[in-house]
Structures are given as structure tokens and as C-alpha cells.
């Protein structure tokens, strides 16, 4: 684990292929078991496989309350899930979270363990956003959803027991991209100001010029996978457009303080660290930490990686200590809309039993592997 501060990201230690032994074991077990490759899957299967992987590698944590909501967005309703921790921060901190998945994969379920962990470590109410995905929707539709959900969170912060001056936004991977884009849009539109932006191994330059091009560094998130994501999300877009790549915005001043997490064995390690350098040059405080031997995605896999649990604590501490930011006056009488529904304890127990019990996880894991083995066999014998 390294705390990194520099004026030139090129002077930082290069990302390496020196994997943590747990990462080596995970990658080897995926290879031996025939775990399906994203780049060889269709979208629906890749989405199921990601959910299965995280059910296996993440820890489920209890929270005090879970609420479901559907809010109005520019292209239709946006599903949200709201987590109130068992021990709530007295300052009323809120975190709006955008899940990862290359703009194509991920949903409220894949983000569920991470949101629970962040709620526990920070004491913040966490609002998870189920933004629109490519290829069914355009890249910009997901950004619009993220922005609309953030505005909703600010307006309803007090109704959720939070302080609008202590609202942070954050996300991992593609969610980190959306975090940076939303922070820039809020500033440019004169909207409310997040107290912090949490960027977990983000892609801030979708042209990938800032990525590390050593193939040995591309662990789990491989170049084949990156091209698969790009082909389903913004293949025909100008990837250096600031509306897609926040690194290329001409003005990074007056943005929220940043909390950056990167992984040493990740092709996006240099991307996130280059963005941190550019933020600092614009006068933005950045708390930055690189995790040695870790791979892209480790932050979500806290059952496997102790470094993930340390990264959760790092982000949690940053959220607890962030400075409040004065906001526009919102309607103090604003109440939560009827679409916000709290799950009962029985509903929560039934959900865990149905989705996270060892038996159900084992059954779905077997189904995933058998599906991949049978598909590989058909391809080898030439069956269409």
C-alpha cells in the first residue's frame, strides 16, 4: 500500500505484474475452472457471470435499513437502493454511489456488498444508482441518470436524515468515470457541490492513452475485455470528448476534493494517478492510495482480498473527515416520495436466503461453469 503524491504521474513507480498471492490464486482458479471470459460472452451472460463472481468473492454485511426507490430521470425511471448503516455518522454524511462494469455490466445487486461495506466503514447513508447501461442505451444516458440521481439525493438529503452539506459522490471503474463527469457537470451548471468525489480505479481517459500498455499489467481487466466494453459502449464516439473522458476537460479547478484508490496490477492504474496529478495542478486536494499487488476489481472482492477491506476503511475515514460544503437552499419541507419503500426485516432475510446462501451460490456457480464448459466443447467440435 502506497500513499502517492507527485506533480508528474510519469515519475510514480510503474504498475507491475507482481501479483499478491491471493490475486494469483484467484486468477489461476478462474483459469483452471474454465471461468467464462467477458470478451467471449454475450452481454446477458457477462452480466450474470459478474453477479455470480461477486456473490462468491464479496462479504454480505447487515445494515439498519434498506430502501428501494424509483425516481424520475430524463429517459425514464431510475432505480435506487438506499442503505442506512447500523451505526450512523452523527454528522449526517451521504454517499451517492455509481457501480462499475465497463458501462455495460453491473446493477444494484453487484453494487450491494460494496455499498454495505462503505456504509459500515463511513457511517454514511449510501444511495446506490442503477443507471442505464450500454448497449441498450447511449453512454450519455448513463451519465444523465447519474447526474439526476445526484440532484435527487441533494434535494432529499434531509428527508433521509442527512446533511446536504456533507453529500459525497463516488464509484468504482466506470462508476469512477461517472463520478468525475458528474462532479464537473455540477460545477459547470452551478448546481450543488459534493463535499468529496471518491474515484476507485477510474477510467478518466476513454481513449486509453493514459493506460499502462504492458500486457503483463492487464490482470483480470484484460485488453480483450477493454475492447469488448468499448465496442458495446462508445466505439463510434470521440473518446477524448470531455463529455466522455473527464481527464480532457480544459478546466479542473473548483472541483470537490478527491479520494483516489488504484491497484498496482491494473492497466488503469496510471490513468487514475494521472488524473490525480491534473487535479492537484488545478488546486484540488487529493487523498491517494495505490494498493500493491492488487488487480482491477479487488475493491469489490473483500472476501478474497484483505486490501479491499483496508481500502474500504481508507474511503470510510475520508468520508467521515471531509469538510462540509454550503449548498443552495432546498425546500426544508421536502418529503420522500411514495416510491421510496423500506424493505422489512423478513424481506431482507428472504432476499439473502434466496441470493447469498451458500447452497444457492454453489448452485449458480455450478450452472455458470457447466454452461461455459458445454459452450467450449461445442466450439471445439465445430457445432454451430
28 sits in which H/E element: helix 21-33
φ/ψ (deg, to 5) at 356: -120, 0
List the strands of the sheet with 286-295, edge to edge. 2-3, 286-295, 258-265, 196-200, 167-172, 94-98, 125-129, 76-84, 65-73, 341-342
Q: What angle do CA 184, 185, 186 make, to 5 degrees?
A: 95
Helix/strand number for the chain, H first, E second = 10, 10
* 371 has catalytic annotation: no
| Contact partners, residue 60, CB within 8 Å, separation at least 6 | 112, 113, 116, 352, 356
In this structure, what C-alpha cell is assigned to residue 374? 458445454
Residues 173, 232, 233, 302: which is the catalytic one? Answer: 173
* 296 has catalytic annotation: yes
Residues 99, 234, 248, 296: which is the catalytic one? Answer: 296
* Cβ atoms of residues 171 and 204 within 8 Å: no
Residues 107, 205, 266, 302: which is the catalytic one? Answer: 266
* 271 has catalytic annotation: no
* Cα(112)–Cα(105) distance, integer angstroms: 14
Active-site positions read 173, 266, 296
Amino acid at each position: 500500500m502506497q500513499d502517492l503524491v507527485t506533480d508528474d504521474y510519469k515519475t510514480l513507480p510503474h504498475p507491475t505484474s507482481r501479483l499478491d498471492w491471493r490475486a494469483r490464486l484467484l486468477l489461476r482458479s478462474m483459469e483452471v475452472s474454465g471461468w467464462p471470459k467477458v470478451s467471449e460472452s454475450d452481454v446477458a451472460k457477462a452480466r450474470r457471470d459478474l453477479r455470480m463472481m461477486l456473490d462468491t468473492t464479496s462479504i454480505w454485511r447487515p445494515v439498519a435499513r434498506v430502501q428501494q426507490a424509483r425516481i424520475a430521470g430524463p429517459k425514464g425511471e431510475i432505480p435506487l437502493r438506499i442503505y442506512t448503516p447500523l451505526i450512523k455518522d452523527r454528522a449526517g454524511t451521504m454517499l451517492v454511489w455509481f457501480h462499475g462494469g465497463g458501462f455495460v455490466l453491473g446493477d444494484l445487486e453487484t453494487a450491494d456488498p460494496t455499498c454495505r461495506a462503505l456504509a459500515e466503514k463511513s457511517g454514511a447513508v449510501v444511495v446506490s444508482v442503477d443507471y442505464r447501461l450500454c448497449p441498450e442505451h447511449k453512454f450519455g444516458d448513463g451519465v444523465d441518470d447519474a447526474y439526476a440521481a445526484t440532484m435527487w439525493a441533494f434535494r432529499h438529503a434531509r428527508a433521509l436524515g442527512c446533511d446536504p452539506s456533507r453529500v459525497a459522490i463516488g464509484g468504482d471503474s466506470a462508476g469512477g468515470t461517472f463520478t468525475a463527469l458528474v462532479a464537473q457537470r455540477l460545477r459547470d451548471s452551478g448546481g450543488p457541490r459534493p463535499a468529496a468525489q471518491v474515484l476507485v480505479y477510474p477510467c478518466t481517459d476513454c481513449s486509453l492513452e493514459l493506460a499502462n500498455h504492458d500486457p503483463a499489467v492487464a490482470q483480470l481487466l484484460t485488453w480483450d475485455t477493454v475492447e469488448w466494453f468499448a465496442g458495446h459502449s462508445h466505439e463510434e464516439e470521440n473518446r477524448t470528448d470531455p463529455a466522455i473522458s473527464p481527464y480532457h476537460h480544459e478546466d479542473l479547478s473548483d472541483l470537490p476534493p478527491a479520494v483516489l484508490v488504484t491497484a498496482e496490477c491494473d492497466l488503469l492504474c496510471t490513468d487514475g494517478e494521472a488524473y490525480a496529478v491534473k487535479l492537484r495542478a488545478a488546486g484540488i486536494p487529493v487523498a491517494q492510495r495505490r494498493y500493491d499487488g492488487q488487480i482491477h476489481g479487488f475493491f469489490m472482492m473483500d472476501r478474497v482480498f484483505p486490501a479491499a477491506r483496508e481500502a474500504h476503511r481508507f474511503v470510510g475515514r475520508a468520508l467521515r473527515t471531509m469538510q462540509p460544503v454550503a449548498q443552495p437552499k432546498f425546500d426544508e419541507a421536502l418529503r420522500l416520495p411514495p416510491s421510496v419503500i423500506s424493505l422489512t426485516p423478513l424481506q431482507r432475510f428472504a432476499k439473502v436466503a434466496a441470493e447469498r446462501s451458500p447452497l444457492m451460490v454453489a448452485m449458480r456457480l455450478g450452472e455458470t461453469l457447466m454452461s461455459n464448459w458445454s459452450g467450449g466443447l461445442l466450439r471445439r467440435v465445430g457445432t454451430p
